[in-house]
Amino acid sequence: MNILLLLLVLPVGYGAWRAWRRSPVATIKTNLKVTAAVVLWVGGMVGGLNLIFLLWPGDSSNSGLPMVLTIMVPLVGCVGLIYSVLRMTDRYFVKAPKGAVRVSVHRRKLYSKWKPVAIVLAFITCPALFPAGYIWMDAAIFDAIFLLIAAMFLIGLYIKANRLDRGMSALMANSWVHWRYTEEQWKDWAGTLPTPLGGAAEAFFGPDGFLCGDEYLPWILSGSYLVNAAVSSDPPARLLLSFDTYVPSTYNSSTVRVEKCVPLPAGADHDLEMLQEQLQRQCPKAAIHVKEAIHG
């Protein structure tokens, strides 16, 4: 079983490492920090489990405290590792000015993911109501194992969503450029642009990323980063933003190009000059040509 898990994890890890090496975040300093965090947290988990086995030697399956600690140590270790890595690579602590509107767009999307978790827990627990060789202790053990696995994924997703909501709040409160559109322009663009538009009829650009309608993307994350920005003068006039995004899979992890379009209002020349300057400073490895209109 351990060999099988290793064969499944190694290709994903190798693909993630290849994508990470191309990321603008992947500096020598950041690599050393991430490596140190992994070593410390994994070492802490191994040490904590060994301490539990030392304090409760032999068969401790009938003792509640060591069972709880055996579950909590890996959970706390994994959450701490995810939190530490995101803080180092994705600038987790984005500070919004005082009085900024606190949004929870990305966190709200996670609430629905708890429903299947509750269904699986009920499926595991309900047979214990009719004991026939299946007792409450068995149900509790299976519930705890499933909760441990689910919590690792969901807490990691929540940390990531919270980081995006923080960045979105900071962007709306402190932006380089803020474009507002009329309802007629918004509907017209929504029907002609390759990417559908939703949300409020406005767009924000700032140090952390951009927000157009209901779509928000930071300029640089560990798994997604801006690689090209240009302006198309063909109708409808629009700002074209290209991101390389890491897509993990078991044996064929890859980086895909994601294209985003932002409607370009009339009289935006000064704003484009500002975006040219700020994006070159914020994303030095990206090709920024927003002052040069292209066709096609």
- Per residue in 10-69, pLDDT tens? 555 565 566 566 667 667 887 788 888 888 888 888 888 888 888 877 655 556 677 777
What integer pLDDT is reported at residue 1 of this predicted model? 38
Average pLDDT of the chain? 76
Q: How far apart (Å, rounded) are the C-alpha atoms in residues 290 and 268?
A: 11
Average pLDDT score over residue span 168-185: 86
Residue 14 is which amino acid? Y
What integer pLDDT is reported at residue 81 of this predicted model? 81
Least reliable range by pLDDT among 132-136, 145-149, 201-205: 132-136
Please indicate whether residue 250 or residue 94 has the higher confidence score (pLDDT): 94
Inform me whether the pLDDT recorded for 294 exceeds 60: no
The pLDDT-based confidence of 6 (bands split at 50, 70, 90) is very low
Backbone angles phi, psi at 17, to 5 degrees: -65, -40
Average pLDDT score over residue span 135-149: 66
The pLDDT-based confidence of 202 (bands split at 50, 70, 90) is confident
| Domain spans of the chain, in order of start | 97-173, 177-294
- Per residue in 230-244, pLDDT tens? 988 777 788 999 998
The pLDDT-based confidence of 199 (bands split at 50, 70, 90) is low
Q: Which residues pair with 215 in a beta bridge?
A: 212
Inform me whether the pLDDT recorded for 162 exceeds 80: yes
- Per residue in 252-293, pLDDT tens? 556 788 888 888 888 888 899 999 999 998 888 899 998 765
Q: How far apart (Å, rounded) are the C-alpha atoms in residues 292 and 3?
A: 54
What integer pLDDT is reported at residue 94 of this predicted model? 66
